[in-house]
Structure 1
Amino acid sequence: MRSDSHEVLNMFRSNLMMKFECLYEGQANQGNPKLLNEIYTELYITESESGEISNEHEVRQIETQSRRAATEDTPIKCSDIFRALPGQDKPIRTVLTKGVAGIGKTVSVQKFILDWAEGKENQDVQLIFPLPFRELNLMKHETLSLSDLLHVFFPETKEMEISSDKYKVLFIFDGLDECRLSLDFQSDVRLCDVSESASVDVLLKNLIVGNLLPSALIWITSRPAAADLVPSECVHRVTEVRGFSDPQKKEYFRKRISDQSLANRIISHLKSSKSLFIMCHIPVFCWISAAVLEKMLSQAESGEIPKTLTQMYTHFLMAQINIKNTKYKKDTDKEMIFKLGKLAYVQLERGNLIFYEEDLRECGIDVTEASVYSGLCTQIFREEFVLFQVKVFCFVHLTVQEHLAALYVHISCTNHNINVFEPIKKQSLWSKVKDWFLLNSSEHVSLSELHQRAVDEALQSKNGYLDIFLRFLLGLSVESHQILLQRLMKETRSSSDRNQKTVEYIKRKIRTIDSPEKSINLFHCLNELGDHSLVEEIQQYLNSGTVNKAKLSSSQWSAVAFALLTSEKQLDMFDINEFVVGNNVKVLQKLLPVIKESRSVR
């Protein structure tokens, strides 16, 4: 080691501080930089029992977790994730942090690194190496040693002897769910020397299991669906980012919006809609809500203040198009949104949240114009420059992707007379959209049939990946959205009769499906369509406490579960006897989501 090792370490720390001190809203390379320390709001993080995966849609997981913020879960500060809690004596080498998309995993990593670089926390660690999977993906065909890999990402390490125990080192692998490397933990290839070359996936596997640098700390973040890619025996602690607690939501808006009176009005509006306030557990949704409501509540604007998920996202989309139109005069709204929607839909089907150049080309987006698309709607579509200046694209959140995907399906039907769920037409859509448009068929594709097909597709999906997409698709057909979207629509169609058919179809499905979780999502769909009749029917029984005496139908019991889950009251104690007389298995099954989310059950 050279004599100027102290200077090298200081330069390394300084470089990380410069890289992580700002948070960019919207586009990473030309967004609005804000000092992380000024706007950072502490997230609610708990120690979790295991890294088990969940097959529910992530928004449903948030809706479920929203009632568990004050349970017996063990809260843990982000800066303490490698410290043993009272009563724990085993050293913690590898931590897996899971959390749904947009919940704050990456920002937590950023804050951890910044606090370390500024000398505030975890000063027993000498070096932190952040290696996001979206950047490691670009090196999946490379063969090199761990030392070489670090030299590529961190040129200063050429001056250091990482192989020795001289330094306490932390590796941070952010975004396991975005990994496109073939991590094979059954492989017999064993590496113990940091100068020994292998493929990047073999390097990572040996680092995580402890063959390479066994004294190094490892921190991996992941969405829940990918949490089991690393075997549990390799993980010493599992933590879960739960996003913002209710007090933290309010703190976020008061920090984000300087006019405290306006901030309080925004908080009050969001609290008036249970489904929106629950979504505020996700920091990205708080940002979207702030962007929409700050403008709408501070100006005398016409139009309804958003009360549903679809309304919020449609207002957000149109606001970004308006921003674009102040910068660029060329009217490309329809074409641009259609292409972005197509990308969103195709990648949603494949389960991808990040996209590379070939993915854009497939959907008719000229790669040379991609940065222009990104610049037009900086908050909708983000372009990130990573290693070697290769471009990686993503929407700012899974729900933004789902909303655009739903808009694409809706416009395909209303503008181009295409039902994307029909296999033949779906195949034609990718290559012959303009041919279909030129045909000008007088025979309309029925939007109610499209909706019914979408309902069936969502009910058949095992992991619920179409649940929120379905809410958006149905919500877009409501008349208030036709007015908002008129500049993107070729024509508008009368919605009342069509939507009534969809409402009746959903009610039939609620009566017949076995899954209580699926029926809860269908009630959210009815909300988006503006139909509250089933819940209103049973509300009188709930208010009078006579539910257990009423002879309710199957769908009415589902309505009871939905009403309890979306009520203002916290379910501290759920007394089954107040609802069920005797051991009625069918009724208990309908109430299972409530039983799961209650803090205790009598």
Structure 2
Amino acid sequence: MSPAQSYKSMTSEENSDEMRDEDRSPTRYKQETSIQRGFHQSVEVKSKDDVSDPSDEPEINENLNKIKHPSVTVAFTFKAICKTLEQLSDFQLLQFKSILWKDYPQSFNIPPQTLDMVDLVDRLLECYSLEESLHLTRTILTKIGQKSALELLETLCIRNEVRYELCQSLRKIYGEVSEDLAMEGEKRPFDDVFVCPTITSTSNNGPNTEHEVLTIEKLHSNSKPAKMLTTRDIFPSKSDDVRYGNLVFFTGVAGSGKSMAVRRLILDWVEERSHKHVDFLFPLPFRDIKQFEGKEVSIVDMIQTFYPETAKLRRKDFSNEDCKILFIFDGLDEYNGELDFHNISYIIDEICSVSLQKIVVNLMRGRLLYRSLFLVTSRPQVKGCIPWDTSHKRIEMRGFSDPEKDEYFKKRLKDADQAARVIAYISSYKTLRIMCHLPLFCSLVADECERIFREQGIQAELPKSITYMYTKLMLTLMRQHRKFRAPDRTPEEERNFLMKLGKLAFDMLEKDSFKITKYQWTDLDISDREAVINSGLCTQYLVAPFVLHQEEYVSFLHPTMQEYLTALYAILSYRNLGKNIFEQPTKNKFKAMFKGHKEMEMYKCAVEKSLLCEDGKFDFVLRFLFGLSAQTNQDLLESLYTSPLKCPNFIEEATALIMKKIRENQYPNRTSNLQQCLVELDF
């Protein structure tokens, strides 16, 4: 490729505003040999009569090469000088060439006036080191009084240094990931373990409703065809639709992989695999910026707190149109401040110190740093977190497809035999396979299987109970809630919340319902923020039955999570309150006549209720109910109980009850579910 073609390829619309290091040199010479050439050395030497005395030439600082910054590369230097010289008029460029010919004639075998700009820069880099070339350009621009061009070159150099140091920081922060959720395991390169979940161009798709027993219709009415996206498509350099502005709202249920997708986007930018039109990328997770609550701070102060290397940037670097900045605010659901879009005053000054609430609101309104790009991730919100008149685009994380589930386990478990066993294991349990659409659930399964392999060997038997994995999922979400969203929450408050949510799950199942409207929700004594945002056990989405009408709906994370919470509610109600939720109302008046109401009575009532429901809507509740009584689950849920288990021989009695029902064979089409109850009891 000729120098002119090389330059043209590098100044395409995709890369016009960036100074990037590349594997191949953009000039005619070979990088490895040319940058080692000494001062005043050239490929072609003119005759002695044409060469002036070197003593008459301006000297170049001998220490330039000793202070070389690692960000100064061949690609950057070539593009920076070309971009600078582009700012000159034809006459000014001629002045530049004339001084170059006068002061450094032996560098050229012909007068540089005959060279076009690309060949001129090409020749400079052949004759001088990168630092010398930049210094020489600065010197001549100063001589011809081109302050604006000189300032541009200085700006490009500063931005290039900051970008390099920023990339080093981001690579260190996001380049490795721990293999287990406790973040205490061996760290591995992110690229070695990451599998990109499914991202769609439409939102409000509702939860995954795939079920092993029931046929549940989709809980949304999103008629727009979904386009499959990757993280590289979130902010394309050329947007087909400019209506959405610079704000992208990235939603997904708890555990769907939003933060991991953000990490993918960050590392792709660092390694120049995507978003090359972005000059700077600043991740500012809400989990981290919450430290500024109650303080006066500016957005620039926040950036420099987390990324000190940005102190070199000038104010204009944050507001110039030729400097594209991408901000990533991960986890809006963890921000507890009120988003008052009506009463909070506007701010447009990036160095103005105000409250964190003002900064967040003005960023959402597109008032602060309006030339920048913003990616905000969050769990689905019940209340609008973006004003209706703000242009934005919504995309949604949908979790893993079936091929992605297998790919995850192959990457996560380094041993191929172990990975094959785990894939076969989840495939043998349809519900586990379905729930692995959540990357978080996949991680929990992998953690448990790795522990078993480590302690018992590769041939060890993997858990038969699906209840155990649901308990782990529920507790993981609740512990994240307590740690990051409500650290002062007491176990009693947590228990009461689960009781209320479990009662709602039970009442909805009784009515064959898997969703509830916002208007119905307001009648409940449950915080929508606790259910949807904080705990992540529920999700919210919009349904548009008519063109100009939208309704907000709330449903559980998955229909089986609704059934699990129903079973948990049944056990907590009996163990803590002595209440049997499956008991028929007609029996309640006789309850006081019996002392020492046995726990097995609740299970008998549950079995009868499940068998009498021909549609099988309580089949999974029954499986979870027996599974929760196994010792492994009892140990995990110990903090939720106010009294110990009263029946020491419960497992034997429960097993006998199920076996009796199977032998009676009164409901032959329900035998399979009864056998699954035995599996949950580890029989």
300 and 403 in structure 1: CA distance in 2 versus 1, 3 angstrom threshold:
farther
In structure 1, what is the Cα distance between the partners aligned to 2:419 and 2:389? 46
In structure 2, what is the Cα distance between the partners aligned to 1:482 and 1:443? 23
Provide the secondary structure at the position in 1 that maps to 2:427: helix
The one-letter amino acid of 1:23's match is V
Q: Which residue of 1 aligns with 2:387?
A: 231
Given the alignment of the two structures, is residue 309 of structure 1 paired with residue 458 of structure 2, yes or no? Answer: no
Q: 1:205 aligns with which of 361, 374, 379?
A: 361
The answer (yes or no) to whether the contact 1:97–1:222 under 8 Å persists in 2 is yes
Provide the secondary structure at the position in 2 that maps to 1:239: strand
Q: Which residue of 2 aligns with 1:136?
A: 289
In structure 1, what is the Cα distance between the partners aligned to 2:673 and 2:364? 43
Q: Which residue of 2 aligns with 1:168?
A: 324
Instruction: Give the deviation of 1:218 after TM superposition.
Output: 0.7
Q: 1:477 aligns with which of 626, 641, 660?
A: 626
**Counterpart mapping for 1:279-318 below 5 A:** 279-294=435-450, 305-307=462-464, 309-313=466-470
Q: Which residue of 2 aligns with 1:267?
A: 423
In structure 1, what is the Cα distance between the partners aligned to 2:347 and 2:369? 10
Given the alignment of the two structures, is residue 124 of structure 1 paired with residue 277 of structure 2, yes or no? Answer: yes
In structure 2, what is the Cα distance between the partners aligned to 1:125 and 1:404? 45
529 and 404 in structure 1: CA distance in 2 versus 1, 3 angstrom threshold:
closer
The answer (yes or no) to whether the contact 1:58–1:101 under 8 Å persists in 2 is no
**Counterpart mapping for 1:77-88 below 5 A:** 77-83=230-236, 88=241
**Counterpart mapping for 1:339-358 below 5 A:** 354-358=484-488
Provide the secondary structure at the position in 2 that maps to 1:143: coil
Instruction: Give the deviation of 1:6 after TM superposition.
Output: 3.0
The answer (yes or no) to whether the contact 1:163–1:193 under 8 Å persists in 2 is no
Q: Which residue of 1 aligns with 2:59?
A: none
Q: Which residue of 2 aligns with 1:464?
A: none
Q: Which residue of 1 aligns with 2:306?
A: 153
Q: Which residue of 1 aligns with 2:255?
A: 102
Q: 2:576 aligns with which of 399, 414, 418?
A: 418
The one-letter amino acid of 2:630's match is H
Q: Which residue of 1 aligns with 2:588?
A: none
The answer (yes or no) to whether the contact 1:475–1:528 under 8 Å persists in 2 is no
The answer (yes or no) to whether the contact 1:128–1:169 under 8 Å persists in 2 is yes
Q: Which residue of 2 aligns with 1:6?
A: 160
Q: Which residue of 2 aligns with 1:495?
A: 654
Superposed CA deviations along residues 553-579 of structure 1, whole A, max 9, x for unmatched, are: xxxxxxxxxxxxxxxxxxxxxxxxxxx
530 and 353 in structure 1: CA distance in 2 versus 1, 3 angstrom threshold:
farther
Unmatched segments (≥5 aa) in structure 1: 318-339, 365-393, 423-441, 457-466, 504-522, 533-602
Instruction: Give the deviation of 1:4 after TM superposition.
Output: 4.3
Q: Which residue of 1 aligns with 2:193?
A: 39
The one-letter amino acid of 1:477's match is F
Q: After the TM superposition, which of the residue ranges 94-103 and 128-137 deviates more from structure 2?
A: 128-137
**Alignment size in residue pairs:** 424
Provide the secondary structure at the position in 1 that maps to 2:400: coil
Given the alignment of the two structures, is residue 246 of structure 1 paired with residue 399 of structure 2, yes or no? Answer: no
Instruction: Give the deviation of 1:353 after TM superposition.
Output: 7.9
14 and 281 in structure 1: CA distance in 2 versus 1, 3 angstrom threshold:
same
445 and 185 in structure 1: CA distance in 2 versus 1, 3 angstrom threshold:
farther
The one-letter amino acid of 1:17's match is R
In structure 1, what is the Cα distance between the partners aligned to 2:435 and 2:334? 23
Given the alignment of the two structures, is residue 30 of structure 1 paired with residue 160 of structure 2, yes or no? Answer: no
The answer (yes or no) to whether the contact 1:92–1:236 under 8 Å persists in 2 is yes
Q: After the TM superposition, which of the residue ranges 25-34 and 489-498 deviates more from structure 2?
A: 489-498
In structure 1, what is the Cα distance between the partners aligned to 2:332 and 2:300? 22
In structure 2, what is the Cα distance between the partners aligned to 1:501 and 1:226? 47
Provide the secondary structure at the position in 2 that maps to 1:354: helix
Bigger Rg, which one: 2
Q: After the TM superposition, which of the residue ranges 4-13 and 96-105 deviates more from structure 2?
A: 4-13
The answer (yes or no) to whether the contact 1:448–1:499 under 8 Å persists in 2 is no
In structure 2, what is the Cα distance between the partners aligned to 1:96 and 1:403? 31
**Counterpart mapping for 1:163-202 below 5 A:** 163-165=318-320, 167-202=323-358
Provide the secondary structure at the position in 2 that maps to 1:11: helix
84 and 204 in structure 1: CA distance in 2 versus 1, 3 angstrom threshold:
same
The one-letter amino acid of 2:293's match is K
Instruction: Give the deviation of 1:277 after TM superposition.
Output: 0.9
The answer (yes or no) to whether the contact 1:137–1:181 under 8 Å persists in 2 is no
The one-letter amino acid of 2:413's match is I
In structure 1, what is the Cα distance between the partners aligned to 2:453 and 2:181? 25
Instruction: Give the deviation of 1:163 after TM superposition.
Output: 3.8
255 and 284 in structure 1: CA distance in 2 versus 1, 3 angstrom threshold:
same
**Counterpart mapping for 1:591-602 below 5 A:** none
30 and 64 in structure 1: CA distance in 2 versus 1, 3 angstrom threshold:
farther
The answer (yes or no) to whether the contact 1:79–1:122 under 8 Å persists in 2 is yes
Superposed CA deviations along residues 374-428 of structure 1, whole A, max 9, x for unmatched, are: xxxxxxxxxxxxxxxxxxxx999999999999998788678xx523989xxxxxx
The one-letter amino acid of 1:419's match is L
In structure 2, what is the Cα distance between the partners aligned to 1:401 and 1:360? 23
In structure 2, what is the Cα distance between the partners aligned to 1:188 and 1:486? 49
The one-letter amino acid of 2:576's match is I
In structure 2, what is the Cα distance between the partners aligned to 1:241 and 1:277? 18
The one-letter amino acid of 1:204's match is V
In structure 1, what is the Cα distance between the partners aligned to 2:306 and 2:231? 25
Bigger relative contact order, structure 1 or 2, given CA contacts below 8 A and separation 6+? Answer: 1
Q: Scaled by the length of structure 2, what TM-score is found?
A: 0.50
67 and 309 in structure 1: CA distance in 2 versus 1, 3 angstrom threshold:
farther
